[in-house]
Chains A and B, each alone.
Chain A
């Protein structure tokens, strides 16, 4: 074996090695992920159901979604209290008329102030902004955990409410 051959082999080594190491590492990670997920108790489906109905469900799997029409009706009858789950700064800019603010990040500290109005309401409707926003859902689960039964989520609430021309409070 000549010195020149040895030199070339060493020089190309990292690239050649990575050609099999990269797929090997990916395959090993895939194998470990799928096998451990299969055997553990809290495994998740390999292909998840991320539909709106499935995402906005309570701990027993029932959907918490309230249609806009129903939310509008409860608003008119003053039978529901609306809870804005967005950060306080966004709530201060604009929100559904009469809505409370319990920012999900600080739910614990805002909760006590809101308690009175939550208890007097027949239904609670949480909302945030955006189809994928999960704050309203998290807040709804939190409120259920706190003992409230009639809790619903208005998905993409701020946007659909505003676009339907329903009453809002704007401070801009």
Chain B
């Protein structure tokens, strides 16, 4: 009992420490930063980003503007939530979903040979057309998002559960 008590004092419920914790926090902040960076230019230039969305030739015309308006704000919210560490389960699910859709759209247009600008981080057409490197870069982000999803849904609750169990048994022993 004594030993458990000391452990539960060391870590508050919900904290994730150790090497896996460091990796988790680093990737969470990195992905958050990527989303913030990605949202910035698109929020500033809605018309140019709408053109980029239109150029993908995936959404029906009447949904292009709405998607172009919402996406950057969603990315901004995801970035803020990831960095602040709030609403993580919902945030990481949307993150993985979005990145999956982005990569699918990029690959789809690679296959049908459409020469598009990815519109990923900048609405400037000087960014150059989206190529295989863009897909690889996005796959890297996607892998981070998948890792965080697994961590938040499977690993973190187990750590919290272990700590909660310790607290529970501790309070029982105290009573």
Contact = CB atoms under 8 A, between A and B. Distances in A.
A29 B68 CA distance: 11
Interface string A57-86: 000000000000000000000000000000
Kindly state the interface size class of chain B when it binds its partner: 35 or more
Contacts of B72: 33
Interface stretch (B21-29, B138-146, B160-168): B160-168
B74 A29 contact: yes
B20 interface: no
Interface string B42-57: 0100110011001101
A6 interface: yes
A34 B46 CA distance: 12
Interface in B76-100: 76-78, 81, 87-91, 93-94
Nearest to B50: A44
A20 B90 contact: yes
Interface in A1-36: 3, 6-7, 10-11, 13-15, 17-18, 20-22, 24-26, 28-30, 32-34, 36
Interface stretch (A45-53, A115-123, A157-165): A45-53
A91 B170 CA distance: 77
B89 A21 contact: yes
Nearest to B160: A10
B89 A25 contact: no
Contacts of B68: 44
Interface residues of A, number: 42
A163 B153 CA distance: 56
Given A14-B156, A44-B46, A25 B161 contact: no
B128 to A, nearest CB: 7
A50 B55 CA distance: 11
Interface string B111-130: 00011000000000100110
A66 B146 CA distance: 49
User: Dominant SS at the B interface?
Assistant: helix
Given A10-B164, A14-B157, A105-B128, A33 B91 contact: no
Given A14-B88, A22-B94, A36-B43, 17 more contacts: A7-B164, A10-B157, A11-B157, A17-B87, A18-B90, A21-B90, A21-B93, A24-B90, A26-B94, A33-B72, A36-B73, A43-B46, A44-B68, A47-B65, A47-B66, A48-B65, A50-B64
30 contacts: A11-B158, A14-B88, A14-B153, A14-B156, A15-B89, A17-B87, A17-B89, A18-B93, A20-B90, A21-B87, A24-B90, A25-B74, A25-B78, A25-B91, A25-B94, A28-B73, A28-B77, A29-B73, A30-B70, A44-B68, A45-B65, A46-B66, A47-B62, A47-B65, A48-B50, A48-B64, A48-B65, A50-B54, A50-B61, A138-B125
Interface of A: 3, 6-7, 10-11, 13-15, 17-18, 20-22, 24-26, 28-30, 32-34, 36-37, 42-48, 50-51, 87, 104-105, 130, 132-135, 138
